[in-house]
């Protein structure tokens, strides 16, 4: 019989804790909105010089770029992409750090790290990006 009342108490306590956290977050969101209502609202533009005109800011921040000479073929960006717009094909380098002239592969990155994988294809399908 005591287990019955213990279960009721734990259920009510759990519900109370969950609702308290939910209401705290709902009140906090009303003070500091995190969602932008595009196109009426836009991301704030930087006040300092960031290397390009401010009118191009929202266009440039949506472009993806990869420095293929520094890519080590770890496939982390392909796995992290939420819409699967990045496709990477890799092959194992014959000898770690060896140059392969027929696909213009250099065996080192710009900071001197030896590459174990050769990136034979790296494509970003911007039509799938949101």
pLDDT digits (tens, 9 = 90+) for 43-57: 666 566 555 555 555
- Domain segments of the chain as ranges: 1-34, 67-124
Strand partners, 2: none
| CB-based contact 73:90 (threshold 8 Å) | yes
pTM of the model: 0.45
Q: Euclidean distance between the first and final Cα of the chain, in Å?
A: 56
For 20, list phi and psi in degrees, rounded to 5: -65, -45
pLDDT digits (tens, 9 = 90+) for 83-100: 888 889 888 876 655 555
User: What contacts 74, CB < 8 A, 6 or more positions away?
Assistant: 117
Q: Which letter, b or e, does each residue of 27-40 get, where b requires 16 or more Cβ atoms within 10 Å of its Cβ?
A: eeeeeeeeeeeeee
Answer whether 57's CB lies under 8 Å from 117's CB.
no
Residue 15 is predicted with a pLDDT of: 96
Q: Can you give 90-116 as a three-state secondary structure string?
A: EEECCCCCCCEHHHCECCECCCCCECC
């Amino acid at each position: 019989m005591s287990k019955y009342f213990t279960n009721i108490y734990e259920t009510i306590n759990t519900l109370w804790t969950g609702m308290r956290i939910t209401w705290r977050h709902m009140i906090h969101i009303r003070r500091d909105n995190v969602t932008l209502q595009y196109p009426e609202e836009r991301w704030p533009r930087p006040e300092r010089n960031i290397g390009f005109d401010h009118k191009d800011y929202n266009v440039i921040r949506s472009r993806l770029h990869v420095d293929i000479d520094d890519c080590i073929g770890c496939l982390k960006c392909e796995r992290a992409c939420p819409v699967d717009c990045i496709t990477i094909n890799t092959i194992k380098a014959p000898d770690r750090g060896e140059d392969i002239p027929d696909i213009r592969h250099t065996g080192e990155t710009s900071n001197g790290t030896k590459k174990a994988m050769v990136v034979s294809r790296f494509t970003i399908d911007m039509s799938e990006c949101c």
